[in-house]
Structure 1
Amino acid sequence: METGAAAKGALMQKLEALLDRLKAHQRQLILEAAERDMLPPDSMLRRIAELENVIAAVEAVADEERHGA
């Protein structure tokens, strides 16, 4: 059984890994959008914006975990 500190550390690692994946996916979409000669489709813009919201939410949870909330 993991101690509280070990469990918290494992959770933080998982949150950081999730953030890395989300940011990488968002970056890839942005780079794809930049390659287009016209405005990207609304669906792509929505996905980029939705990822930004999810990234902010995960960062908030990670911050709460770091500060013991």
Structure 2
Amino acid sequence: MIEKLIALRTRLLTAQRDLIRVAAEAGTHPSDNALRKIADIEVTIGAIEAMMEDLKKR
């Protein structure tokens, strides 16, 4: 299960970095939708990391 969580975390980090890169290259303020997506991914990554830590303690 940890391997699947690591893979999911990696995919989400890539998606988040892509969104940030696109926002930076646009040269304007990111849209509210883009900011929300970036923040939502960050929260999800945190939840995945917490779950991974929990599984490691077992």
The answer for the alignment partner of 1:52 in structure 2 is: 42
Deviations 1:2-35 (A, max 9, x none): xxxxxxxxx0110100000010100100101101
**Aligned residues: percent identity?**
41
The answer for the alignment partner of 1:22 in structure 2 is: 12
Runs of 4+ in 1 over 6 A off after TM superposition: none
Q: Which runs of 5+ in 2 are unaligned?
A: none
Provide the C-alpha distance between the structure 2 equivalents of 1:67 and 1:24, rounded to a whole number of angstroms.
27
- Paired letter, 1:63: E
Q: Which has more helix, going by share of residues?
A: 2
Q: Which runs of 5+ in 1 are unaligned?
A: 1-10
Query: TM-score, normalized by length of structure 1?
Result: 0.81
